[in-house]
């Protein structure tokens, strides 16, 4: 318990070292990693096999359980084809059914990009505030004031810059990786529709 109290006190000290800008940055960290975690959990394909092989395995009953989003989409698509038969409207039914998958794949994409772009700017705001405090200390000759003077201003500037980069850099890297994965899954959904609709027309 004492250890947790010490950690909490150190956290409060760290946050106060950077001024009020640290709290929006801390909130950004929480929201960003929640959004990244959600996308990571959502963008589970289910298998590394090609879409064509997966469709064949589900149609032949070789594979029955859904292990990810693409698996679930294939199962739902096959069910739609069996329900509505081979009609020209089947593609429209598939488009409507896959809309929920598309929404889930794209969810939080804009939020992540906004946070990654905003975090360094918020950190820069803290840097500017810290530098203003530094120059105020120079102007007032408060080099050794209780507020920290030059050292306090520079410290505040560095803390906010640091936290801004801590938010932005991992978010940028992981966000790009997840974006590429999302683009691949959107192509997989289109391929599922193409495979099933081509089979309809050929039968």
CB 148 within 8 A of CB 173: no
Q: Which whole-number Å values give the CA distances from 124 to 13, 41, 145, 166, in the listed order?
A: 20, 32, 25, 13
pLDDT at 157 over 70: no
pLDDT band per the 50, 70, 90 thresholds, residue 201: very low
Segment 122-145, tens digit of pLDDT: 888 887 777 777 766 666 655 445
Top-confidence residue, 153 or 158:
158
In this structure, is the dihedral angle defined by the CA atoms of residues 79, 80, 81 and 85, taken in order, positive or negative?
Answer: positive
pLDDT band per the 50, 70, 90 thresholds, residue 203: very low
At 195 the pLDDT is 87
At 200 the pLDDT is 47
CB 78 within 8 A of CB 51: no
Q: What's the pTM value of the predicted model, to 2 decimals?
A: 0.77
Segment 30-57, tens digit of pLDDT: 999 999 999 999 998 888 888 999 998 8
pLDDT at 100 over 80: yes
């Amino acid at each position: 318990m004492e250890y947790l109290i010490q950690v909490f006190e150190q956290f409060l000290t760290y946050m106060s070292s950077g001024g009020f800008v640290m709290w929006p940055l801390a909130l950004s960290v929480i929201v960003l990693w929640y959004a990244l975690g959600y996308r990571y959990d959502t963008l589970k394909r289910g298998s590394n096999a090609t879409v064509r092989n997966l469709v064949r395995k589900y149609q032949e009953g070789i594979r029955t359980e859904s292990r990810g989003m693409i698996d679930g989409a294939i199962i739902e698509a096959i069910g739609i084809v069996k329900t509505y038969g081979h009609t020209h409207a089947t593609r429209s039914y598939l488009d409507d059914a896959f809309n929920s998958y598309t929404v889930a794949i794209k969810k939080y994409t804009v939020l992540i990009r906004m946070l990654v772009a905003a975090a360094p700017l918020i950190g820069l705001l803290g840097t500017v505030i810290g530098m203003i405090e530094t120059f105020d200390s120079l102007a007032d000759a408060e080099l050794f004031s209780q507020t920290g003077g030059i050292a306090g201003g520079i410290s505040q500037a560095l803390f906010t810059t640091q936290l801004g980069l801590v938010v932005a850099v991992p978010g940028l890297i992981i966000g790009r990786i997840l974006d590429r994965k999302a683009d691949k899954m959107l192509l997989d959904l289109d391929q599922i529709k193409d495979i099933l609709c081509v089979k309809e027309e050929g039968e």
